[in-house]
């Protein structure tokens, strides 16, 4: 049954590259904390488990299988605390490495898996193979969710496709670095407003092997307003997503109905 509200938490933290034990412990602690506060989902940054700005040799060493022991441990924490988790990691599949986000529901079941499709610069291309397709929309507590990773959301077509497939919220783990603050400050708000959905954008703070991250994680409404936003410090954001807000905005500004796709091709 669909609920009128969904409680979502987002963790902004400093990177702990190549330290999976610390990363898992941090997630387990945060799951317990936000679940006790009533949250139904925790989102963490891009490649949060493994680190993002790491060398190819380090990536090969710490890469994880999508259904391995680390996933089992996180799934057990989700079951224990009755909360879903969306987390990023470097994924190993045969000889290929992918930049992946995976979602585990409150029952410990994997319900979504997505590999970054738009690789950013030499950093991404030196480490990852690009994914082949956007992830399908999936359901939690009657709400429809989509997934993108960092640079993906900077292409308007990715969010629009998820919106047309029924997404009400897009989860975006990211590793947004300086000097690209405008993406978090402006572009995410525009993506939410033009597609009339909620967006949760989870970034790092601090630095990682010479890269400085912007922080500025946010949860944004379909009107393009911040429901919650971080500065550049470790923090956890929580917001209530209201279906009434979604319906009111879509009624007031029927962007999807008023499109003229016959003109755009």
Tell me if 230 sits within 8 A of 204, measured CB to CB.
no
* Phi, psi angle pair for 211, to nearest 5°: -95, 135
Catalytic residue among 78, 91, 150, 168: 150
C-alpha span between 120 and 117 (Å, rounded): 10
Catalytic residue among 28, 78, 91, 116: 116
C-alpha span between 51 and 22 (Å, rounded): 11
C-alpha span between 185 and 30 (Å, rounded): 25
C-alpha span between 212 and 177 (Å, rounded): 6
Our answer to whether residue 46 is catalytic in this structure is: yes
Our answer to whether residue 116 is catalytic in this structure is: yes
Do β-strands 110-115 and 218-220 pair in parallel, antiparallel, or remain unpaired? unpaired
Tell me if 218 sits within 8 A of 203, measured CB to CB.
no
DSSP per-residue codes, 22-54: HHHHHHHHHHHHHHHTT-SEEE--TTTTT-SS-
Which SS3 state, helix, strand or coil, does residue 102 take?
strand
C-alpha span between 1 and 136 (Å, rounded): 20
Q: Which two tokens stand for residue 105?
A: 């529901």
Our answer to whether residue 150 is catalytic in this structure is: yes
Which SS3 state, helix, strand or coil, does residue 192 take?
helix
Close Cβ partners of 1 (under 8 Å, ≥ 6 residues apart): 142
Locus of tokens 């307003």: 225
Question: Catalytic site residues?
Answer: 46, 116, 150
């Amino acid at each position: 049954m669909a609920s009128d509200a969904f409680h979502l938490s987002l963790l902004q933290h400093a990177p702990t590259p190549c330290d999976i034990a610390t990363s898992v412990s941090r997630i387990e602690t945060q799951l317990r904390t936000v679940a006790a506060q009533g949250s139904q989902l925790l989102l963490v940054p891009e490649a949060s488990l493994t680190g993002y700005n790491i060398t190819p040799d380090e990536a090969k060493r710490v890469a994880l299988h999508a259904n391995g022991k680390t996933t089992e441990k996180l799934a057990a924490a989700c079951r224990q605390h009755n909360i879903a988790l969306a987390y990023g990691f470097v994924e190993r599949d045969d000889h290929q490495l992918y930049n992946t986000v995976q979602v585990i529901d409150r029952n410990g079941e994997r319900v979504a898996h997505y590999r970054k499709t738009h690789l950013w610069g030499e950093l991404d291309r030196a480490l990852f193979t690009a994914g082949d397709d956007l992830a399908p929309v999936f359901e939690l507590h009657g709400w429809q969710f989509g997934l993108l990773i960092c640079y993906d959301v900077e292409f308007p077509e990715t969010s629009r496709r998820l919106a047309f497939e029924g997404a009400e919220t897009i989860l975006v783990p990211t590793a947004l670095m300086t000097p690209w603050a405008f993406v978090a400050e402006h572009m995410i708000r525009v993506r939410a407003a033009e597609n009339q959905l909620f967006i949760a954008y989870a970034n790092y703070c601090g630095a990682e092997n010479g890269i400085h991250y912007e922080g500025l994680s946010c949860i944004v409404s379909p009107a393009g307003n911040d429901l919650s936003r971080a500065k550049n410090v470790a923090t956890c954001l929580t917001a209530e997503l209201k279906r009434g807000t979604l319906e009111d905005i879509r009624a007031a500004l029927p962007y999807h109905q008023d499109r003229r796709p016959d003109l755009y091709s």
